[in-house]
Amino acid sequence: MRRDLLLTAGVGLLFLAVWQAIVLIGGYPPYILPSPFAVAGRLASAAGTGILFPHLLTTLVEIALGLALGVSTALLLGFLLARSRLADRLLSPYLVAAQATPILALAPVIVLWFGSGLLSKVLICALICFFPMVVATTVGLRSIDPRLVELARSLRATQRQLIRTIEVPAALPQILGGLKVAVTLSVVGAIVAEWAGGDRGLGVLINLARGSLFDIPLMFATLVVIAGLGVTLYLLVVLVERRLVGAPHQRS
Amino acid sequence: MLDRVRLAVPEGGVVAVVGPSGCGKSTLLRIVAGLLSLDGGTVRLLGDPVTGPDARVGLVFQEPRLLPWRSARENVAYPLELRGVPRAERLARADELLASVGLDGFGDARPAQLSGGMAQRVGLARALVLAPPVLLLDEPFGALDALTRDRLDAELLGLWERAGSTIVLVTHSIPEAVFLADRVVVLSPRPGRVVAEIPVALPRPRRWADLDGVESGRAAAAIRRALEESADPEAGE
């Protein structure tokens, strides 16, 4: 485990070293490719002057609400699809069609309908999280060992008990797998939504840094924050997974 | 699957059902357990017609069928949990049951960490946790090695002698049937019918060492003969 962490850190350092080498060898100016040091310095100053936090907070709120909405609806619908062949046959083609339509193309339409406030961001964010969660939930619930269901039935479990003691725990590994994809996509959703219209958020900050501020190191610093946000959310899910399901090697 | 099966199991007795693969012995057990419904006919359990799973029946499956995400203790406590027994009480009861099947100290183990025999013991403990008057076992130790199986059979008899429950056991092992049962019911190939009922007049408590006697030899031979005759095409449908 410790060795893994060291290796991961090593890969990160290698990446930074290559980046720095490219800057040095290519002699690029900071407005094309700032060095890792310049980006780190700009990140520190942006955090210090308070330009970063309001944007970060806005994006975090959008992600939190979008995830909550997208994941909860997906769990409910996934449950329905796993239960009912009819619902599956009626709805699945449209779900796939909705997923296949690029979120970049949908976002402006959603902003057009719901305004450029928080609501449209939450909706776009929820939409992008939705599909992987539905698929994970449906697959998880469908792959439950029917013998365990029979056991619960022989013990006269009620429908609710069956869901709570068999279906949810059995489908949990798959659901958490879907959640890993969903949280990373939720960051993408929030940024895309902010680009489609908005006055605050990390996506807006990128646009500002690239445009009117012309502060390319700040743009890179924002990218680092966005990537860090995705990684943090992902690791949070891994942590929950460890608690609820156990580490991968402990699973049967 | 089954055809004109008439079978009466006396309370407190042990009946073994033996038959070729696919004759419907497991189906018969599932019908008694209330997991399958009948096309026709009736099954009575302790006087009441069976309409669905009954709390007075403990069921042991061919495989341990444990919930892999739960510890052994929580698996044994599962039937109590479904009946709303408070957590501390049901876990204490589960520990007692684990001790009674020889798994003292294994309460925290996950099913994946247990050997096949230990996992099946957990399954047996779970079936006994509600102290059911009727115990149904579907080839319970068939997947285990012969020595483990013999030991578990002997322990099952010990538990039965103390609890005095009624046992119906499906098996494809003639020695196991003779060792455990008061009466061995032989089913024909599909559609399963009762072709013989062979009493086993061995004294109890029984030990595997007692099985070398004349009576067990007679019973085993009678079972074998019934199986062979029913497998004969002339005797078939």
pLDDT in tens, A185-194: 999 999 999 9
Q: What is the mean pLDDT of residues B13-22?
A: 89
Q: What is the mean pLDDT of residues A199-213?
A: 91
pLDDT one-digit tens code per residue, B74-88: 999 999 999 999 999
> Kindly report the CA angle at B177 between B175 and B179, in degrees rounded to 5?
65
Is the pLDDT reported for residue B236 higher than 50? no
B67 close contact with A: CB closer than 8 A: yes
ipTM over the 0.90 cut-off: no
Q: Name the residue among A191, A177, A181 with its Cα closest to residue A63.
A: A191
The SS3 of residue B68 is coil
Q: What is the mean pLDDT of residues A70-82?
A: 95
Task: Tell me: do A194 and A118 sit in the same domain.
Answer: yes
Q: Kindly write down the DSSP assignment for every residue of A121-184, as one continuous string.
A: HHHHHHHHHHHHHHHHHHHHHHTS-HHHHHHHHHTT--HHHHIIIIIHHHHHHHHHHHHHHHHH
Residue A229 main-chain phi, psi, to 5 deg? -60, -45
Residue B115 main-chain phi, psi, to 5 deg? -70, 165
Give the gap in angstroms from C-alpha B69 to the nearest C-alpha of chain A.
7
The SS3 of residue A21 is helix
Is the pLDDT reported for residue A252 higher than 80? no
Task: Tell me: do A22 and A83 sit in the same domain.
Answer: no
Q: What is the mean pLDDT of residues B15-26?
A: 88
Q: Are strands B48-49 and B44-45 parallel, antiparallel or unpaired?
A: antiparallel
Task: Give the model's confidence band at B23: pLDDT under 50 very low, under 70 low, under 90 confident, else very high.
Answer: confident
Is the pLDDT reported for residue B63 higher than 50? yes
Alpha carbon distance A107, A64 (integer Å): 18
- Using a CB-CB distance cutoff of 8 angstroms, which residues of chain B are in contact with residue A155? 53, 78-79, 82
Q: Which residues neighbour B215 within 8 Å (Cβ) at sequence distance 6 or greater?
A: B200, B201, B202
pLDDT one-digit tens code per residue, A24-41: 999 899 888 999 999 999
Is the pLDDT reported for residue B164 higher than 70? yes
- The CATH architecture of the domain made up of B1-56+133-237 is 3-Layer(aba) Sandwich (3.40)
Q: What's residue A39's pLDDT?
A: 93
Q: What's residue B2's pLDDT?
A: 78
Task: Tell me: do A115 and A201 sit in the same domain.
Answer: yes
Half-sphere exposure of A198 (CA within 13 A, CB side): 31
Task: Tell me: do A48 and A153 sit in the same domain.
Answer: yes
Q: What's residue B81's pLDDT?
A: 96
Q: What is the mean pLDDT of residues B8-26?
A: 87
Task: Give the model's confidence band at A70: pLDDT under 50 very low, under 70 low, under 90 confident, else very high.
Answer: very high
Task: Tell me: do A90 and A56 sit in the same domain.
Answer: yes
Compute the mean pLDDT over every residue in chain A, rounded to the nearest whole number.
91
Task: Give the model's confidence band at B44: pLDDT under 50 very low, under 70 low, under 90 confident, else very high.
Answer: confident
Q: What's residue B111's pLDDT?
A: 94
Q: Which of B53, B69, B112 sits opposite A154 (nearest CB)?
A: B53
In the beta sheet, which residues pair with residue A228? none
Q: Which of A147, A157, A161 sits opposite B65 (nearest CB)?
A: A147
Is the pLDDT reported for residue A50 higher than 60? yes
- Using a CB-CB distance cutoff of 8 angstroms, which residues of chain B are in contact with residue A170? 69
Q: What is the mean pLDDT of residues B183-195?
A: 88
Residue of chain A whose Cα is closest to the Cα of B79: A155
Is the pLDDT reported for residue B150 higher than 50? yes
Question: Does B33 contact A154 at a Cβ distance shorter than 8 Å?
Answer: yes
Q: What's residue A17's pLDDT?
A: 94
Cα distances (angstroms) measured from residue B230 to each of B28, B192, B194:
18, 10, 10
Domains of chain A: total:
2
Alpha carbon distance A42, A220 (integer Å): 9
Q: Tell me the percentage of chain A whose pLDDT exceeds 70.
A: 97
Task: For residue A4, give its domain range.
Answer: 1-31
B203 Cα distance to chain centroid? 20
Q: What is the mean pLDDT of residues A150-175?
A: 94
**Residue ranges per domain, chain B?**
1-56+133-237, 66-131
CATH of residue A128's domain is 1.10.3720.10
Q: Which residue has the tokens 């780190």?
A: A40
Question: Does A154 contact B52 at a Cβ distance shorter than 8 Å?
Answer: no
Alpha carbon distance B52, A126 (integer Å): 43
Task: Tell me: do A19 and A38 sit in the same domain.
Answer: no
Question: Does B65 contact A148 at a Cβ distance shorter than 8 Å?
Answer: yes
Answer with the residue of higher pLDDT: A142 or B231: A142
Cα distances (angstroms) measured from residue A231 to each of A103, A168, A183, A227, B39:
21, 26, 9, 6, 58
Question: Does B110 contact A250 at a Cβ distance shorter than 8 Å?
Answer: yes
Q: Are strands B44-45 and B134-138 parallel, antiparallel or unpaired?
A: unpaired
Q: What's residue B7's pLDDT?
A: 79
Task: Give the model's confidence band at B235: pLDDT under 50 very low, under 70 low, under 90 confident, else very high.
Answer: very low
8 A C-beta contact, residue A161 and residue A152: yes
Task: Give the model's confidence band at B237: pLDDT under 50 very low, under 70 low, under 90 confident, else very high.
Answer: very low
8 A C-beta contact, residue B219 and residue B198: yes
B68 close contact with A: CB closer than 8 A: yes
User: How many contacts does A have with B, using Cβ atoms within 8 A?
Assistant: 46
Q: What's residue B233's pLDDT?
A: 56
Q: What's residue A247's pLDDT?
A: 58
Compute the mean pLDDT over every residue in chain B, rounded to the nearest whole number.
89
Residue of chain A whose Cα is closest to the Cα of B32: A154
Cα distances (angstroms) measured from residue A211 to each of A32, A46, A121, A208, B203:
14, 17, 22, 5, 95
